[in-house]
Structure 1
């Protein structure tokens, strides 16, 4: 398979070691003239959702895309769907296994039903204006976290190597991911969220099945019906249909 060309106008920074690619992106942001990808072989102070520590060995994928968006914050946040779709596209292109990769709301990529990758969006700005958006992506290419360290009820972590036997380098993934993201970014900025929503739902895990959504101290059980035009999770619960803008989802 021939690699797609690197997207025009997008910078590429490959580092051996960094505190975190999102933190490096924030430092780079004021001087950016366009989008930039930052990838590191090793992160010493990485973090996941809700500020949780994130540890990943050399050989796994750790990268951040930093952009200068122009839309309102609630529109900017929909790029998590673009990132998930692009990552799935890149994984399928590198493995030839389209049926193995699914998407979990709000922003995880699954392999054979286990968690392969996570995506973390952080916005930089003042007031209601987003000046820069950092999209951090971590992928278990060669090793997954110890299942004993995962929250009870969360999906089992998996690695690409462990599930498929394929050894994909971080550089190869970056070279597939950058053009894939550029395509979804183009679709998003020219056609809006609709094409992303439709494509995401086509690959959604547990659509039409029972799930549990937890927001703070509130937990809801119901059937995962769809994702609405704002990116919210729509569930049918015992109390009726609810749209949930942010939550942790358990299967």
Structure 2
């Protein structure tokens, strides 16, 4: 156990090197009792959304929380918002800079308007439900991708060190993140999504402003109005309100 605030009953595993903390966590799922965090000090095959490679230099944060949720898959997916809120809490606790951090739908954290962290949920299924959920989190603590490898139109990436001058070790970040997530998880299981939705909206980037949301084949332009009770992006378009369950968002 590390840190006085480490959530009771939650495992803490630090791996010198692993392929992907999500993949490792899901391999461990059949034998684990209770939730567990897996921190990879180095990842050799990290990945982001849509199977993109995720740069994983040593000194950055790559970790996964493994859970065995009982809700429907739609409810389980809402934990990405719990993870985003916990990430913001950890950043604020470690830097004392609450105004610097905002949340980008669906699952990024921004520092001074640029991407500093991302979240990737992966799951194994059991019948119609979810057997194991891996909440993967990558944070640019000391390094960030070069603009040349970023998708055209994507937000620039920054590191915590480059933007704030604060140098945080991955283990230290985990010890702030784990209790922060445990608080949001407890609220979610007791009260549902409503309090998380309200908190997320209070820190959301670009609410009330024009954005572009790209789904598989279509691109929608409109004003970012809110997120609904299912976590969908609500866009005010020229033809009316549009609920978008999944998309890449560009500012």
Fold conserved between structures, TM > 0.5: yes
Give the C-alpha shift of residue 127 in structure 1.
3.5
1:88 aligns with 2:88: yes
Corresponding residue number in structure 2 for 1:55: 55
The answer (yes or no) to whether the contact 1:4–1:179 under 8 Å persists in 2 is no
Aligned with 2:188: secondary structure? helix
Aligned with 2:42: secondary structure? strand
Query: Matches of 2:5 and 2:214 in 1, distance apart?
Result: 41
The answer (yes or no) to whether the contact 2:44–2:56 under 8 Å persists in 1 is no
The answer (yes or no) to whether the contact 1:110–1:117 under 8 Å persists in 2 is yes
Query: Matches of 1:211 and 1:218 in 2, distance apart?
Result: 14
Aligned with 1:200: secondary structure? helix
Alignment of 1:3-152 (within 5 A): 5-152=5-152
**Which structure 1 residue ranges, 5 or more long, are not aligned?**
none
CA-to-aligned-CA distance 1:125-183 (integer Å, 9 cap, x gap): 13421001000000000000001110011000000000000101101100000000000
**Which structure 2 residue ranges, 5 or more long, are not aligned?**
none
Query: Matches of 1:4 and 1:94 in 2, distance apart?
Result: 16
Between the two proteins, the alignment pairs up a number of residues equal to 249
CA-to-aligned-CA distance 1:33-83 (integer Å, 9 cap, x gap): 100000011001111111111122100000000000000000000000000
Query: Matches of 1:250 and 1:126 in 2, distance apart?
Result: 35
The answer (yes or no) to whether the contact 1:4–1:176 under 8 Å persists in 2 is no
State which drifts further: 233-242 or 120-129: 120-129
Query: Matches of 2:154 and 2:239 in 1, distance apart?
Result: 25
TM-score by length of 2: 0.98
Aligned with 1:154: secondary structure? coil
Give the C-alpha shift of residue 32 in structure 1.
1.3
CA RMSD for the aligned pairs? 0.8
Query: Matches of 1:35 and 1:71 in 2, distance apart?
Result: 15
Aligned with 1:18: secondary structure? coil
Q: After TM superposition, where is structure 1 displaced by more than 3 Å over at least 4 residues in a row? A: none
Query: Matches of 2:208 and 2:4 in 1, distance apart?
Result: 35
